[in-house]
Amino acid sequence: MPSYPQLPDIADLLEARAGEALALNQRHLNPKLGSVLRTLGFDVDWARAQGAHLIDRRGNAYLDLLSGYGMFSLGRNHPYVKDQLARVLAANTPNLPQLGVSTLPGVLAEQLIARSPSSLSAVVLTSSGTESVEAGLKLARAATGRPRIVYCDRGFHGLTIGSLSVNGNTEFRERFGSLLEACDAVPFGDLAALQRELAPRDVAAFIVEPVQGKGVFVAPEGYLAEAQSLCKRTGTLLIIDEVQTGLARTGEFLALDHWGLQPDMVTLAKALSGGFVPAGALLASRQVFDATFDSMERSVVHGSTFGGGDMAAAAALSTLAVIDREQLVARARKLGDLLRELTLPLVGEFEIVREVRCLGLMWAIELGPPAGRAARHLWEAVERRQPGLFAQMVTVPLFHEHHILTQVAGHHMNVIKALPPLIIEDDELHRFAAALREVLAEVEAHMFRRYASVGFGLGRRTFSRVA
């Protein structure tokens, strides 16, 4: 192997610039994000990561229950995926010939189809979740000849203009001007509203998450099956967004398997990457695919420069292999049951806990105002400063006092969310539940002190766009 003594070595660069990550971000990347991290005290100097843990430069290990928004389902730096990526690099594959095809992307498409509902038999490979959604919107309009797209309030499908047009969260949409026309929202779980929108038979597709990432709202019983029936009766295509819920996260390979759905399209990304190489996919029915790519001239009407690269395909194939070998579908189901069992009692133990929601290893706890007059007034004062701020009074001490990373699950929501890596051990879930109970007890018993030390400091700073 040749050496390049005149060129920088990445390992040397990492060592030489250690401790500069935040300073570099503030100078060249997103300084407002850096301000948020400093405000929360999340501005840790990360040195390395392994499995379910992030490790700072002092050697402190933090339990990562954010998992890169679900990207690190296999944990961080999984050795098998690393090994397979090294093998692809060593093989000098004919990667991305563009006017040509290579083997690994085809094998990936084959394996994804084999694991998916029988309604899906074609694949468009992408580099991200928002690319997968964009592809779905385009194929829906091309295949049906219809203009409209229907989506759900609170749904999150990405941040590019097309995906943003079906993003049901106003904090992401505002200030970006006119989005795609003929995109209309319905309340999640409201079949009557959906039926009204589909009745004119001008809707190309209904796009929906089986579990909404913002708030972890699980589809009500019967909702998705009936939505599928409505779509079939009106000639509307059903797109199930599995960017966060897919690949074993909820205790099935795809969350839609909980309801036995047969959609027209499914979007994938995040965990498909193995945590290494951007990878995504749109799975589609042959009918939808052939109606879009319907001639040689139209064979290139949609694509992605890096979608279907050999490195991405290798990362995805390795991820699928680990899911199978380590039986992560069953593991997510079992550990999800454990996490629910450990945290559901919190609803009865604490006034401020309203609900625990969980499907597999996609979990959230929702907080609400306490009954006491003084405590309720404090809650209302916190919410006036910044709706959803109260939840930070839990996430911040979880991080600082217990070295556990979680997130607030949505703008103006007092919902705390966890997406544990699927390889997490039982004792780590016990540790999380015990830490959460301790923090909730401290908040409820000493709410004024907690607010003074955490809430007031956060509330007086402006970061109203943080989700």
Does residue 266 sit in helix, strand or coil?
strand
Answer with the residue of higher pLDDT: 300 or 457.
Answer: 300
pLDDT of the residue at 180: 96
Angle between helix 79-91 and 310-325 (nearest 10): 150
Does residue 218 sit in helix, strand or coil?
strand
How far apart (Å, rounded) are the C-alpha atoms in residues 401 and 403? 6
- Minimum mean pLDDT among 120-134, 340-354, 363-377, 403-417: which range? 363-377
pLDDT of the residue at 467: 35
Q: Identify whether the C-beta of residue 227 lies closer than 8 Å to the C-beta of residue 190.
A: no
How far apart (Å, rounded) are the C-alpha atoms in residues 30 and 220? 38
pLDDT at 459 over 80: no
pLDDT at 457 over 90: no
Query: Which of 325, 351, 384 is a domain's end point?
Result: 325
163 and 305 share a domain? Answer: yes
- How would residue 381 be classed by pLDDT, with cut points 50, 70 and 90? confident
Please count the structural domains in the chain: 2
184 and 230 share a domain? Answer: yes
119 and 256 share a domain? Answer: yes
Give the neighbor-by-neighbor strand order of the sheet with 415-418. 353-359, 362-367, 415-418, 407-408
How far apart (Å, rounded) are the C-alpha atoms in residues 346 and 341? 10
pLDDT of the residue at 466: 38
Q: What is the CATH number of the domain that holds 133?
A: 3.40.640.10
pLDDT of the residue at 465: 37
In a domain, 174, yes or no: yes
What percent of the chain stands above pLDDT 70?
A: 95
Structural domain harbouring 103: 79-325
Angle between helix 426-445 and 328-343 (nearest 10): 30
How far apart (Å, rounded) are the C-alpha atoms in residues 211 and 242? 9
pTM over 0.85: yes
pLDDT of the residue at 411: 81
44 and 111 share a domain? Answer: no
Q: Summarize pLDDT for 87-133 with one digit per residue, the tens.
A: 999 999 999 999 999 999 999 999 999 999 999 999 999 999 999 99
252 and 358 share a domain? Answer: no
pLDDT of the residue at 324: 98
Q: Summarize pLDDT for 395-408 with one digit per residue, the tens.
A: 999 999 999 999 99
Mean pLDDT calculated for residue range 11-31: 95
Q: Identify whether the C-beta of residue 131 lies closer than 8 Å to the C-beta of residue 387.
A: no
In a domain, 7, yes or no: no
417 and 375 share a domain? Answer: yes
48 and 156 share a domain? Answer: no
42 and 157 share a domain? Answer: no
- How would residue 58 be classed by pLDDT, with cut points 50, 70 and 90? very high
